[in-house]
Structure 1
């Protein structure tokens, strides 16, 4: 269900190599909300881990706002462009930077791939 279109690797500050997998957007469109959320949680953890130089499992998705995770304006713009390009979504930079947690960002992305949240969060960018 999470067929990879693009894989990348990055090194963590402790020397581990993490392979990132961009979710298949067609799979995201056809999956239910809970499955989309799980797929996107993995991807967002990987992207945040890459920016922060840590293992994805070390990314706190629920307990800290994005700024407290270490995401500032420059890293936020980088995340915005990478996620928009990889997922074909419109991601509001202010929403990303002011998110109360990474989970809020994950939820926003998950809703964009289904009919439930197109009005609330916007829709994916047409191919």
Structure 2
């Protein structure tokens, strides 16, 4: 009999199954409507940029730090379904959101943040 097959028969299935990770509490959003309204106009773009990176990370299941500011949303992996989820999350948090087409065509996170700032104004 093949050695790999013999090793397979000797393996205890319980040994190879990793323990599930404990559930983690969702992070609160970095931006609230009140915080946005209270921010000085020159600081609002940065708040929206950080908020969008956090939400894009949540939609793509990656840390916000992994979301490159200079990449298009398409290059980041935002498609129609994830774009719709992102739009829904933005609207639920801030009360307004850019159109899905704007999200899908954004050339960078700061560009999307600037558009969102116009929508919220």
| 1:1-127 map, 5 Å | 19-62=27-70, 64-114=71-121
Q: How does the TM-score come out when normalised to structure 2?
A: 0.71
C-alpha spacing 1:89/1:80, structure 2 compared with 1 (3 Å): same
Q: How does the TM-score come out when normalised to structure 1?
A: 0.68
Q: 2:35 & 2:28 partners in 1: Cα distance?
A: 17
What whole-Å deviation, never above 9, does each CA across 1:14-63 have from its counterpart, x for those lacking one?
A: xxx6724252212312322321112112211111111112111111112x
C-alpha spacing 1:113/1:30, structure 2 compared with 1 (3 Å): farther
Q: Contact (CA 8 Å) 1:49, 1:59: kept in 2 or not?
A: yes
Q: 2:55 & 2:47 partners in 1: Cα distance?
A: 13
Answer with 105-114 or 44-53: which moved more.
105-114
Q: 1:33 & 1:65 partners in 2: Cα distance?
A: 25
Q: Contact (CA 8 Å) 1:33, 1:111: kept in 2 or not?
A: no
Q: Structure 2: any 5+ residue segments left out of the alignment?
A: 1-23
Match of 2:5 in 1: none
Task: Tell me the SS of whatever aligns to 2:27.
Answer: strand
Q: Contact (CA 8 Å) 1:66, 1:99: kept in 2 or not?
A: yes
Task: Tell me the SS of whatever aligns to 1:23.
Answer: coil
Q: 1:58 & 1:90 partners in 2: Cα distance?
A: 23
Q: Which structure shows the bigger proportion of residues in strand conformation? A: 1
